[in-house]
Amino acid sequence: MPKTSSKTNPARELVFGDLWEYDPAPETADPKLKKRYDLFINGSFVAPQAGKYFPTINPANETKIADIALADAADVNSACIAAQKAFVGVWGKMPGKERGKYLYRIARLLQDHAREFAIAETLDGGKPIKESRDFDIPMAAAHFFYHAGWADKLEHLAPGRKVAPHGVVGQVIPWNFPLLMLAWKIAPALAAGNCVVLKPAETTSITALKFGEICQEAGLPNGVVNIVSGAAETGAAVIIHPLTTKVAFTGSTEVGKSIMRSLAGTDKKMTLELGGKAANIVFDDAPLDQAVEGIVNGIFFNQGHVCCAGSRLLVQESVADAVLAKLKRRIAVLRVGDPMDKNTDLGAINSREQLAKITDLVKSGVEEGAEKCDNGCKLPAKGFFFRPTIFTNVSMSHRIAREEIFGPVLSILTFRTPEEAVEKANNTPYGLSAGVWTDKGSRILKLSTQLKAGVVWANTYNKFDPTSPFGGFKESGFGREGGKQGMLDYLSVG
Ligand code: NAD
């Protein structure tokens, strides 16, 4: 019998194409949404003083979900006064072990209401239900659990020194992980003994306002948490309010810079979590199949609306063709569509504006000479969707290699030596995250010190944990969220 080798007779690849369609598997629980959401100030839901509301829509079908209260400077002022009163009267002087009990209660209530929150998050923001169900909501609860544990141990954060809360903290968050970003901000602030005024992003206010209901259910003292919905002007009012002694902002670098300018000359404490353009670096000794999964997760998780997305793939030249072939096969089977379907991999782009920004940057990539490839899948007729897209023949000067796209678009570049990989990875104004795929532990350790990034993942990507500090270098901002370092940013150390 003639011998067959895998070289002469490779295993046949099973390609099903569109022979079978998945049956729809929609999530059906009731997200308990209201038609109108008021501001959450001093423990109650109150109408905005000017009586203005704005619509929030479902980006997957462009239908209106609810009207959201638009807070102006007068509403922000009421929220800051309520927070100051709660800080002076109750929260700031409450023993840590009592504060911790409230945080534990909030964590458990988020778990109790997890399904409802996951659906609300998906409807309002467009992310796949499997992500809001398995990542966003459980991680938000995990942040409250973790920080509850710190509330009565603050003195261990700076042994031998005195730590004290700042007072009222003003917080502004983006739309990509609405409840999770809220948890990253509110949990450490409360554990440290601060009271907060938080502004959610204008396209995703619902889960933040539903969080007000959780605060009520937890019996949190009035004014400890205040949620003021609105757009840029509301955020600016929170940040410049004289009662906010510390400001925590997550969002774009452009707005971060304007916030720094507006606070110059004040003695407010500040942390900024801004944009990124991470390099995900694949060496020729890496486990390539695992690396491809990491690349896909790194750029297509949450439609690429991720500050630390691995949006620049740097692959060693000798394995570039193999990686590209595997990547193309993997992308071909990604399912884009109804975010409420449990089989969906990529849901809706968060807004029409974001879709226009992604489209514009992709157009620039083609015009500047890069080679575009998407998975060619059929997109829903309504709503904001974008196919998973990769670019080859990308040069470092292309806009798609330099600017944050914040969408499902990967720019692929190659390198020959580790030195070249580091040089290319660091050649960006950002410094939030990076990934390294290699078999060599020594190389991982060396690169983790050479890469100018706040987080370096090794043989994995997009892994998060409340105990692990997250934050940037350079134009990705300063300050940390999570872990001991994140707690210290909410305390003054004497
Ligand atoms: P954005 O900067 O436009 O808005 C962020 C928030 O700031 C929103 O709530 C917005 O209403 C508010 N805002 C806008 N202008 C303001 C102003 N002048 N003063 C005060 N508040 C203002 O960002 P976005 O488009 O909502 O979010 C995407 C950006 O967020 C991306 O750049 C992404 O990388 C970044 N991000 C960073 C992290 C991180 O941890 N580093 C996490 C998530 C998102």
Q: Judge contact between 113 and 157, C-beta under 8 A.
A: no
- Testing ligand 1's pocket by substitution, the residue of 172, 350, 462 carrying the most ligand atoms inside 8 A of its CB is 172
pLDDT of the residue at 380: 96
Take atom 6 of ligand 1 and give the residue whose Cα is closest: 174
User: Sorting pLDDT into bands at 50, 70 and 90, what band is 3?
Assistant: very low
The average pLDDT across 148-161 equals: 96
The residue to which tokens 């990934």 are assigned: 435
Q: What is the pLDDT of residues 347-398, one digit of tens each?
A: 999 999 999 999 999 999 999 999 999 999 999 999 999 999 999 999 999 9
b/e 434-443 (16+ beta carbons within 10 angstroms → b): bbbbbeeeeb
371 is an active site residue:
no
Using the atom order of ligand 1, give the atom closest to the CA of residue 231.
11
Measure 202 CA to ligand 1 centroid, in angstroms.
10
User: CA–CA separation, 260 vs 254, rounded Å?
Assistant: 10
Q: Say how far residue 370 (Cα) sits from the centre of its chain.
A: 28
Distance 200 CA to ligand 1 centre (A): 10
Rounded CA separation 32/204 (Å):
16
Share of residues in the chain with pLDDT > 70 (%): 96
Q: Which atom of ligand 1 is nearest to the CA of 175?
A: 26
Residue 253 CA: which ligand 1 atom is closest? 32
Give, for ligand 1, the residue of 255, 268, 354 to mutate: max count of ligand atoms closer than 8 Å to Cβ: 255
Kindly state the average pLDDT of the residues 42-48. 98
If you ran DSSP here, which 8-state letter would residue 420 be given?
Answer: H
Distance CA 236, CA 262 (A): 9
What the block records as the tokens of 441 is: 């532990």
CA–centroid distance, residue 309 to ligand 1 (Å)? 15
142 C-alpha to center of ligand 1: Å?
23
pLDDT greater than 90 at residue 115: yes
Q: Confidence band (pLDDT; 50, 70, 90) for 2?
A: very low
- According to the model, what pLDDT value does residue 17 have? 61
Determine which one of 131, 273, 475, 481 is catalytic: 273
Signed CA dihedral, 480, 486, 489, 493: sign only? negative
Query: What's residue 4's pLDDT?
Result: 44
Inter-CA distances, 361 with 203, 302, 392, 400, Å: 22, 18, 15, 6
Residue 15: pLDDT band (50, 70, 90) is low
pLDDT band at 233 (very low <50, low <70, confident <90, very high): very high
Closest CA to 436 of 308, 305, 313, 289: 313
Indicate if 377 belongs to the active site: no
Contact 399, 365 (CB under 8 A): yes
The pTM score is 0.95
SS3 161: coil
* Average pLDDT over all residues of the chain: 96
CA distance 208 to 34: 13
The whole-angstrom separation of Cα 82 and Cα 97 is 23
Distance (Å, rounded) from C-alpha 194 to C-alpha 364?
A: 45
pLDDT attached to residue 10: 61
For 195-212, write each residue's pLDDT tens digit: 999 999 999 999 999 999
Q: Is the predicted pLDDT of residue 336 greater than 80, yes or no?
A: yes
Confidence band for 22, pLDDT divided at 50, 70 and 90: confident
Lining residues, ligand 1, CB within 6 Å: 172-176, 199, 201-202, 231-232, 235-236, 239, 250-252, 255, 258-259, 273-276, 307, 404, 406, 432, 472, 476-477
- Give one word for 433, left, alpha or beta, with left for phi > 0 and alpha for psi -120 to 50: beta
* Ligand 1 atom closest to the CA of 470, numbered from 1: 40
